[in-house]
Amino acid sequence: MGVKLNLTVLSFFFLLASFADALTLDVRNYGAKADGQSDVSMALAKAWQEACAATTPTKIYIPRGNYRLSQASFKGPCKAPINIQLEGILIAPKNPGQFKQPSWVTFSYINRLTLNGGGTFDGQGEMAWARSDCSKTTFCPHYPMNLAFFFVTNSTVQDITNKNSKQFHTNVLGCKNFTFLRYTVNAPETSLNTDGIHIGRSDGVYIYDSHIKTGDDCISLGDGSKNIHIEGSSCGPGHGISIGSLGRYKNEEPVVGVYVKHCTISNTQNGVRIKTWPNSEPGTASDMHFEDVIMTNVSNPVLIDQVYCPWNQCSASIPSRVKLSNVSFKNIRGTSASHVAVKLSCSKAYPCNGVVLQDINLTYKGPEGPAISACSNVNPKVGGGQNPKACTTKAV
């Protein structure tokens, strides 16, 4: 593993060890068939009901093979830890019109869940992408997400592939102490509105040694995201690693403590980005740190955008009321696909506070000439080497 073991990862291995002698529930004993045709939803529901009622650690085993799954909801609280060992491939219906719920597979109100085994969730999203017009208009149909984790605590997803979701691949809401380890998201660049992992109102989410390829943000953080650690992971294609957009809705919770380290971002529309709406509701985002990130052919490698206003849905002339503070970009290096490699466009009403640029080395080879940086409503503290030179022009 490329990252150092911390208490969160160690606790996962201790939890996994508790399943060594656990009762194993093989879904084939509940009627599941790995024939690529039979629906395994009833078999999984029966196995989950038994596992959730057990007073000792229990394993649900899904062996290798292809399984059709119409929809599944795994709901707690349960009486003991549960391990879902997925070795096979679960395949969603192609037609998004078949879904009555906003997610294909949902885990909710569970403590001490482990999902592992090297298996795959295949959302078969191609039909949904063809029907969506997100890239041109405000119309983004509410197609189902592949995986949703709602109010799940002290849990881990390890060595799982999530591919071709109809909408977001992974939604993490209201979770605490939740780890993704060697998690793979795989969808083409043409897949619309298919964020790899979206996190909101969760405290202590850890993403380690994971690889995300998709058509939208690799990782996006909504309001209430706290103590988020992303380390040793790769992103691209996609839209980069994004905090926000923030400030669109009333009563948004603060974003506090985001740490992105030792990551690579390649061939994406953005690199590391913080975005808030103009004419926004009040809000705050603080303690956001991006360190040791390698960019390869990335447009907007370093970006604070407090005038984020797609499709002119807002009054861009009215400043954002989301206050950004204590933000650092350190040891960001590689190649930019755009002339403005570093852009810090902060709010006129609430200028960014405590922004640090240190050891930036981003090169651009294009007709406009060497890379430049652009800043407005911010006075960053600059240290180490700066290529491009820090904030030489006003933001555009």
179's tokens: 């780890």
Are β-strands 241-246 and 272-276 bridged in parallel, bridged antiparallel, or unpaired? parallel
- Residues 6 and 307: their CA atoms lie apart, in Å, by 37
Can you give the residue ranges of every domain in the chain? 101-135+142-394
Phi (first) and psi of residue 395, to 5 degrees: -65, 150
Give residue 391's pLDDT.
84
Are β-strands 103-108 and 72-75 bridged in parallel, bridged antiparallel, or unpaired? parallel
Determine the CATH number of domain 101-135+142-394.
Answer: 2.160.20.10
Give residue 394's pLDDT.
44
Give residue 315's pLDDT.
80
Helix and strand element counts for the chain (H, E): 3, 33
Length of the chain: 396
Give residue 395's pLDDT.
43
Give residue 9's pLDDT.
61
* pLDDT, tens digit (0-9, with 9 covering 90-100), for 210-264: 999 999 999 999 999 999 999 999 999 999 999 999 999 999 999 999 999 999 9
Give residue 132's pLDDT.
75
Q: What is the mean pLDDT of residues 58-87?
A: 98
Q: Is the pLDDT of residue 393 over 50?
A: no
Per the annotation, the verdict on 169 as an active-site residue is no
Indicate the DSSP class of residue 251.
Answer: T
Provide CB contacts within 8 A for 129, sequence distance 6+: 166, 190, 191, 192, 194, 215
User: How many of the other CB atoms lie within 10 Å of CB of 97?
Assistant: 11
Sorting pLDDT into bands at 50, 70 and 90, what band is 392? low
- Percent of the chain residues topping a pLDDT of 70: 92
SS3 letters across 269-334: CCCEEEEECCCCCCEEEEEEEEEEEEEEEECCCEEEECCCCHHHCCCCCCCCCEEEEEEEEEEEEE
Alpha helices in the chain (DSSP H): 7-17, 41-53, 126-131
> What does the mean pLDDT of the chain come to?
93
Torsion over CA: 142, 244, 210, 362 (sign) = positive
Sorting pLDDT into bands at 50, 70 and 90, what band is 12? low
Beta bridge partners of 68: 39, 91
Q: What is the mean pLDDT of residues 28-36?
A: 97
- Residues 86 and 118: their CA atoms lie apart, in Å, by 7
Rg (CA), the chain: 22
Active-site residue, from 239, 262, 289, 339: 239
Is the separation of the CB atoms in 147 and 175 below 8 Å? no
Q: Is the pLDDT of residue 137 over 90?
A: no
Q: Is the pLDDT of residue 333 over 80?
A: yes
Q: How far is CA 214 from the centre of its chain?
A: 11
Give residue 141's pLDDT.
72
Which residue is listed with tokens 């809401």? Answer: 173
Provide CB contacts within 8 A for 92, sequence distance 6+: 69, 104, 121, 122, 123, 124, 144, 146, 166
Give residue 168's pLDDT.
98
Ranking 8-17, 52-61, 271-280, 339-348 by mean pLDDT, the lowest is: 8-17
